[in-house]
Amino acid sequence: MKLKLLGAALVAALGGLLFGFDTAVISGTTDWLKTTFQLSGFWLGFTVSSALIGTIIGSLVVGWPADRYGRRGVLFVLALFYFITAVGCALAWDWTSFVFFRFLGGLAVGGASVVSPMYIAELSPANLRGRLVAITQFNIVLGILLAYLSNWVISHHFGAALGEVQYRWMFGVQALPAAIFFLLLFGTPQSPRWLVARRRAAEAQAVLEQCGSDRGGAAAEIAEIQASLDLDHHALTEPFYTRKYLKPILLAVAIAMFNQLSGINALIYYTAHIFKMAGYAQADALLQSVVIGLVNLVFTMAALAVIDHFGRRKLMLVGSLGYIISLGAAAYSFYTGTGGKLLLGSLVIFIAAHAFGQGAVIWVFISEIFPNRVRARGQALGSFTHWVMAAAISWTFPMIAEASGWMTFAFYGVCMVGQLVWVLLVMPETKGITLEKIQQSLGIK
């Protein structure tokens, strides 16, 4: 693996780290938000999911600028948004300003969920693409763990000295990695497939020579990319929602919906809240959140190591079975009121199943199944679907959980039975196949 390729993938994946941090940091502040802004369960759910509303919009609109100005150019803007939301949430003067800055952060998360994996996929040779795109997911869960750890350190070690201001610090620390992300982007190249689409083949060939190619020769790969784009017969602005793109559209929508119907974002956003529902004290709940984040990171690393060997479908099968077992155990824990170790154990298995299956596969799979000429819009559709479902899950969870915790987890478990059936009967394998060959296998000319 060439160092230029690895470096560019690692930098682009920092968008994922900030994605994870911004997503999870609010989990340690929900009690503070509820008391400071005097929020009911409904408005707490709205406040938490305000970022997700921004994420939905960000994922939906980022495709056009990513095609017009390039993947790298958009990442610069997203880095600025991450920085502004960190400072803004830390200094928010009322509920409205807080919601606005969380919304702005959501725009960055939605954009990063589209552009970071797409950029890495377009830069990577087929035999390395799975693990390199999965670095984005690794960074997402690393960001989640860092958010949990940061929240616990601030609360446990500085809470007495900082008082209520500690919650503002929880949001503000994100400004540092956002600034680093912005500066490192200056050393990354443009996507070679985007350059070819803009008829800048010589620049694209130079990037492939620096980063490596599927054909062993950059010129041959440029020719294959040009053939897949076929710009003489297909415009980059041609209609997307047409019959010829129906297969990848349905695949992207399905995997994105199932991702959130597992209840993963309910756990990420409300980790501490769930443990408090089960009888843990605030400090213990924050520490259990760190345990969940650490397990997430370890099993993501395991998936990253094998995704190009075992393939996407096998990881999804293992993850689906783990979901069903763990969600059943969590539902039983709440139904019987046992909580404690049974709940912790079931949530550990749940997060491990997610990290090894859906978490590692979703962004890789969506970045692979669309043709070069519509990849930005396809990635945006998959991300948009993911975040619409995430908003619905995170907004409704506090209200539903208050009424019946066990039924919530039972519902997620039934949905994961549906995912298992989909993986067995519908999901294709994409490991080790060039992006252009995947296009052909789906019958797209």
CA–CA separation, 69 vs 76, rounded Å?
Answer: 11
CATH of the domain at 92: 1.20.1250.20
Q: How many domains does the chain have?
A: 1
Q: Is the confidence at residue 220, as pLDDT, over 60?
A: yes
What is the number of helices (H) and of strands (E) in the chain? Answer: 22, 0
Q: Is the confidence at residue 64, as pLDDT, over 80?
A: yes
Q: How confident is the model at residue 297 (pLDDT cuts 50, 70, 90)?
A: confident
Q: How confident is the model at residue 232 (pLDDT cuts 50, 70, 90)?
A: very low
**Do 205 and 217 form a contact (C-beta atoms < 8 A)?**
no
Residue 7: count of CB within 10 angstroms of its CB: 15
For residue 327, the model assigns a pLDDT of: 93
For residue 59, the model assigns a pLDDT of: 84
**Do 357 and 134 form a contact (C-beta atoms < 8 A)?**
no
Collapsed DSSP state (helix, strand, coil) of residue 281: coil
Residue 327: count of CB within 10 angstroms of its CB: 27
Q: How confident is the model at residue 278 (pLDDT cuts 50, 70, 90)?
A: low
Name the H helices within 124-200: 126-162, 166-172, 175-184, 192-197
Q: How confident is the model at residue 280 (pLDDT cuts 50, 70, 90)?
A: low
Q: Is the confidence at residue 233, as pLDDT, over 60?
A: no
List the single range of 117-126, 284-293, 362-371 with lowest mean pLDDT.
284-293
For residue 261, the model assigns a pLDDT of: 93
CB-based burial, 103-141: b 16+ in 10 Å, e otherwise: bbbbbbbbbbbbbbbbbbbbbbbbebbbbbbbbbbbbbb
Q: Is the confidence at residue 112, as pLDDT, over 70?
A: yes
Range of the domain at 58: 3-441
Q: Ranked by mean pLDDT, which of 35-39, 250-254, 389-393 comes out on top?
A: 250-254
- Rounded percentage of the chain residues whose pLDDT exceeds 70: 89
For residue 367, the model assigns a pLDDT of: 84
Q: Is the confidence at residue 101, as pLDDT, over 50?
A: yes
Q: Is the confidence at residue 384, as pLDDT, over 80?
A: yes
Q: Provide mean pLDDT across the span 371-382.
A: 84
pLDDT in tens, 187-204: 888 888 888 888 888 888
CA–CA separation, 19 vs 113, rounded Å?
Answer: 8
